[in-house]
């Protein structure tokens, strides 16, 4: 899943733990799904009080459709995480329920994360979640909020907002959003396709 805030590892670690953490991070970012699950289990066994390890295990297990293990890992992470870092766990719970196809529960967790740790990426994911639930008004508000916040590059927020506006046949506004998304990321292929689609439909309607 791994599309939310990266766990805050590396603080207060000795040389051995840091080496194991770095090994886990390398595997987490790779496509070696079986290897990274074994490493995550070993890490949480060796360092059971490190909430970051439990976040990673939850993320990996969820991606492998091992939902019971994922929920248990994230519950442990939530118990261990200091208050200031709990939003990172909330994001991962959102990812888990999204993976399970439960967008309503996912939205609840993303809302908590966006309240505790307002980030463009988290609010953009929340907006996409509302779109899947058919609530385009909430989706639009989320994406506009994400764009205004701009704690990270808001190219995806512009793209998703454009999708909402296109669905509502607000084509000129949608075109502006897709154009901005491509401006921010010139290689954003999906935004290019959507932009060209809106240009074509505007010509069709105008003709």
Q: Write down the mean pLDDT value for the chain.
A: 91
Contact of 4 with 92, CB cutoff 8 Å: yes
| pLDDT the model gives residue 3 | 54
For 113-143, the pLDDT digits (tens) are 988 888 999 999 999 999 999 999 999 999 9
Dihedral sign for Cα atoms in the order 198, 193, 178, 133: positive
Per the document, the length of the chain is 207
- Count of CA atoms in the C-beta half-sphere (13 A) of 189: 0
| DSSP-derived 3-state class of residue 58 | helix
User: Whole-prediction pTM value?
Assistant: 0.81
For 90-116, the pLDDT digits (tens) are 999 999 999 999 999 999 999 999 888
Q: Which residue has the tokens 């901005």?
A: 180
Contact of 70 with 103, CB cutoff 8 Å: no
Which of the listed CATH numbers 3.90.940, 1.20.1070, 1.25.40, 1.10.150 matches domain 1-92?
Answer: 1.25.40
Distance in angstroms (rounded) separating the CA atoms of residues 190 and 198 = 12
Distance in angstroms (rounded) separating the CA atoms of residues 166 and 189 = 17
């Amino acid at each position: 899943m791994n599309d939310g805030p990266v766990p805050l590892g590396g603080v207060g670690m000795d040389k051995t733990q840091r080496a194991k953490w770095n090994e886990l991070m390398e595997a987490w970012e790779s496509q070696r799904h079986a290897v990274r699950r074994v490493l995550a289990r070993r890490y949480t066994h060796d360092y059971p009080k490190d909430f970051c390890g439990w976040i990673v295990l939850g993320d990996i297990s969820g991606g492998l459709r091992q939902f019971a293990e994922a929920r248990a890992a994230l519950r442990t992470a939530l118990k261990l995480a200091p208050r200031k870092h709990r939003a990172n766990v909330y994001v991962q719970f959102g990812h888990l329920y999204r993976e399970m196809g439960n967008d309503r529960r996912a939205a609840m967790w993303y809302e908590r994360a966006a309240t505790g740790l307002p980030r463009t990426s988290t609010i953009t994911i929340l907006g996409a979640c509302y779109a899947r639930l058919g609530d385009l008004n909430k989706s639009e508000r989320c994406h506009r909020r994400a764009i205004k916040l701009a704690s990270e590059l808001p190219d995806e927020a512009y793209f998703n907002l454009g999708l909402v506006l296109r669905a509502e046949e607000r084509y000129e506004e949608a075109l502006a959003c897709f154009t901005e998304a491509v401006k921010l990321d010139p290689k954003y292929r999906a935004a290019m396709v959507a932009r060209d689609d809106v240009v074509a439909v505007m010509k069709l309607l105008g003709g």
